[in-house]
Amino acid sequence: MVIALSLSLVLIAVAVLVVGYVSGADPAVAGSSAGASDAATETPRPAPEALPAPATVESFDKAARSLDDPTSIWVVVNKLRPLNPQDYEPDDLVSVPVEHTWEPELRQEASDAVVAMFDAALAEAGLELASNSAYRSYSAQEEVYDGDDLTTARPGFSEHQTGLTMDIGAASGECSLAECFAETPEGVWLRDNAWRFGFILRYPADKTDVTGYSFEPWHFRYVGTELATEMHDTGFTTLEEFFGLSAAPDYE
């Protein structure tokens, strides 16, 4: 009886070993390794390819307005680009309701922008600004021109004749129409904020070889907020360079 029982137990053990061998699993670890075996044989997935960066698109349209038409707020006037006709006079001039030395006139759009800018200077920084000069006709420019081509424009070549330009100073008169205006609180505020209202400092200190004029920290030209913002954001300080025009250090 004992011998028979022992033989039975031996036969059962042999049968278990045979089944484990045939199935390819170690009976001692078959239960614990089934999951690991499945994971080990899983096909790896390739990493997704990065999408190419979108191409840079130049969104600013430099041809949106004329650079030659005197009625355009982008008109470029310099020693090589006179107004056409040279005795041009804007037909929408209005009196500008701001503090002034001489009663200023500008085109309506520029006048509205000046008023907004003067109001902001007072509200934001407590600074009082004043107009020292604005629109000047061809005949008025004949009287102003003193023969010094670095400081005054010849009649027909003056930005003041466009009705888009104002010489701005402090209401106190400190450093009026002088380079020291650049260091006054009013001059600093205008330098840093005029672009918000569509104005650019037209004759920077380091661009005489481009503009043809010496530094005028009081001379601000209206070009509209779209262009003024684009020039501010891209770092251009002259219309000539922004639009790829020839420098105009001298008259032809």
Domains contained in the chain, CATH given: 93-242 (3.30.1380.10)
Which of 109, 216, 226, 252 is labelled catalytic? 216
Dist CA 4 CA 177 (whole Å): 125
Query: What phi, psi does 70 have (nearest 5°)?
Result: -65, -20
Check if 216 is active-site: yes
Q: Residue 168: beta bridge partners?
A: 131
Q: Count of H helices and E strands in the chain?
A: 8, 6
Nearest one of 132, 126, 124, 123 to 96, comparing CA atoms: 132
- 189-223, pLDDT tens digit by residue? 999 999 999 999 999 999 999 999 999 999 999 99
> Which residue type occupies 61?
D
- 83-131, pLDDT tens digit by residue? 999 999 999 999 999 999 999 999 999 999 999 999 999 999 999 999 9
Within 8 A by CB and 6+ apart from 215, the residues are: 179, 182, 203, 204, 205, 208
Give yes or no for residue 52 having a pLDDT over 90.
Answer: no
More confident residue, 15 or 112: 112
The pLDDT score that the predictor gives to residue 33 is 40
Q: What percent of the chain has pLDDT over 90?
A: 77
Considering the entire predicted model, what is its pTM?
Answer: 0.78
